[in-house]
Amino acid sequence: MYGCVFLALLASLHTCDGGLAFASYYGDNMVLQKAPERAVLWGYGPEGAQVTLWLSGPKRQKTPPVTVTKGIWRVTLDPVEAGGPYNVTAILQSSTVNLTNVLFGDVWLCGGQSNMAFEMFKIFNASKEISNAANYTQVRIFMAAMRERETELIDLEQVEVPWSTAASKQLANFSAVCWLFGRNMYDNLKYPIGLVESCWGGTSVEAWSSSRALQHCGLQDNTDTDEDEAENGPSANSVLWNSMIHPLLNMTLKGAIWYQGEKNADYHPDKYNCSFPAMIDDWRFAFHQGSGGQTAPDFPFGFVQLCTYKKGSTDDGFPNIRWHQTADVGFVPNRRMKRTFMAVSLDLPDDHSPYGTIHPRDKQDVAYRLTLGARAVAYQEKDVHFRGPFPGQILTTEASLNITYDQTVSVTSSNDIFEICCSEATAPCGPQSTWVPAPIINWGPASVQVSTSYCQPMSKVAALRYAWKDWPCDFKSCPVYSARGDLPAPPFQVNRWPGNTP
């Protein structure tokens, strides 16, 4: 029958019993999105047949029969509160397929390139972290296989890790950032968390974006591919959107987290301030439509601002992408990127990582900072401090600049992390401009004063920037943090032309 043939071609994961099957990313031990959203389930069956869904557990549901159309059936459950376990049974005449040990909670999608794919067994204290996972039986994991396609698929071609409990041996090879974030969220929420990993190392944002999003940024006609694509991941337009995101659109999500951008440091870097926000907007639109309105049209989206790569590098690739990740604002959420949150990680370098300096092993701090953002933005917790200090006002004195931050700060001295641009032109400074150090000479509870002595007369000071280096400081040793010392100030650049403040 059509359902069995289609499933064999796309998923090869379920045995068709009388032509009835769930789609590839449903399975035993899974987490479905809890109330107030409604979970969507779908699968395959004989054309024109009637499928009924039963939910049994702490609460019971029976859905009205739905008709298989073009080989596919689809059901939207009534809202189910967090908890479980449940059994989900699809019935077609005398045939049934079952999902067991199903929980309802919040489902988060984890995407990006190699630092999101970075496995649990590679991080600091890996053995302890993996062993501790046995205490998190209500956090469940799922991983899509790495596949690329030229056209949009309706189901995953292959599943790398089916839904599994945390105690599974599969956790060692699961995304560390994804798992640690989910574990932290469970500690805070005390109800089930489902984690869906869909990522591929060495890939560009263009590969994860639909043609709609790329058209918005003038990238729809791009056919460029990198020479090293065979060694790294694919960068061609939409090839991972087609095979690793589009198939998931029917799923009801709570939100997404993302760690990517390294590839775009030298691949269409000047477009990233458009392509990344456009991808977020498009994912939100597509998941909302695909889930029949159940996934929020502005679902929360968190991301990791790039860490470090080349110590001592003067290349602006990473600093520029960090800036573009915020749509050139410097912080999120902002007017262009609403309901987003960011983990600043430029102070977490790993000079001795056996996996290369581009792959730092401290994913615990990354996940902690993402968790703070999710609590504040996704769950609207009050009084959760989730952003590092950012300038609110910059004033000039005779031989210095006084930077007033939007919060109290913890400061240590530094000679080179602040820089000023010396120029007599009434135009914004850029990477090719003359930048010189602006040493910290004083600070207060919410302010930092930097010297402009390297740029005289004062009228030549045309811009100020902070941490505008690939590797701006050693581990947790940047000079400006939040008052508690746990959140680093993000990088910024502000030009005198136009204006004096961000």
User: What's the CATH number where 332 sits?
Assistant: 3.40.50.1110
Does 301 fall in a domain? yes
Separation of alpha carbons 10 and 16, rounded Å: 13
Pair (76, 193) in one structural domain: no
Pair (373, 423) in one structural domain: no
What three-state secondary structure class fits 443?
strand
Pair (184, 305) in one structural domain: yes
In 363-437, the DSSP E strands lie at 391-396, 400-405, 409-411, 418-422, 435-437
Query: Within 13 Å and on the Cβ side, how many CA atoms surround 472?
Result: 32
Helix axes 317-324 and 272-290, enclosed angle (nearest 10): 40
Does 130 fall in a domain? yes
| Contact (Cβ atoms closer than 8 angstroms) between residue 269 and residue 317 | yes
Q: Are strands 83-92 and 72-76 parallel, antiparallel or unpaired?
A: unpaired
Closest alpha carbon to 209 in 299, 227, 218, 291:
218
Separation of alpha carbons 112 and 301, rounded Å: 12
Write down which residue in 323, 349, 378 finishes a domain: 378
Write down which residue in 378, 401, 428 finishes a domain: 378
- Going across the sheet that includes 21-22, the strands are 21-22, 40-44, 72-76
Pair (30, 120) in one structural domain: no
What three-state secondary structure class fits 189?
helix
Separation of alpha carbons 222 and 339, rounded Å: 30
Write down which residue in 343, 378, 413 finishes a domain: 378
Can you give the pLDDT at residue 499? 41
Does 25 fall in a domain? yes
- For residue 207, the 8-state DSSP code is G
Query: Which single residue is written with the structure tokens 């009924």?
Result: 52
Does 212 fall in a domain? yes
Pair (32, 151) in one structural domain: no
Backbone angles phi, psi at 395, to 5 degrees: -115, 145
Separation of alpha carbons 332 and 311, rounded Å: 27
Separation of alpha carbons 413 and 326, rounded Å: 27
Can you give the pLDDT at residue 99? 98
Pair (36, 168) in one structural domain: no
| The total number of structural domains that make up the chain | 3
Pair (112, 6) in one structural domain: no
Rg of the chain, C-alpha, whole Å: 24
Pair (242, 345) in one structural domain: yes
Pair (463, 482) in one structural domain: yes
Pair (474, 486) in one structural domain: yes
Separation of alpha carbons 191 and 291, rounded Å: 22
Does 485 fall in a domain? yes
Give CA angle at 97 (94, 102), nearest 5°: 140
Which pair of structure tokens corresponds to residue 422? 């010396």
User: What's the CATH number where 34 sits?
Assistant: 2.60.40
Separation of alpha carbons 195 and 80, rounded Å: 18
Domain extent at residue 428: 391-495
Backbone angles phi, psi at 10, to 5 degrees: -95, -35
Taking the chain (502 residues) in runs of 10, the rounded mean pLDDT of each run is 37 51 98 98 97 97 97 98 98 94 98 98 97 96 97 98 89 97 98 98 98 95 55 87 98 98 96 98 98 98 98 91 98 98 98 98 98 98 97 92 97 93 88 92 97 89 96 97 96 76 34
- What's the longest Cα–Cα distance across the chain? 87
Separation of alpha carbons 291 and 449, rounded Å: 51
Does 500 fall in a domain? no
Pair (98, 123) in one structural domain: no
Pair (218, 247) in one structural domain: yes
Does 158 fall in a domain? yes
Does 413 fall in a domain? yes
Q: Which residues of 348-358 are buried (b: 16+ CB within 10 A; e: fewer)?
A: bbbeebeeebb
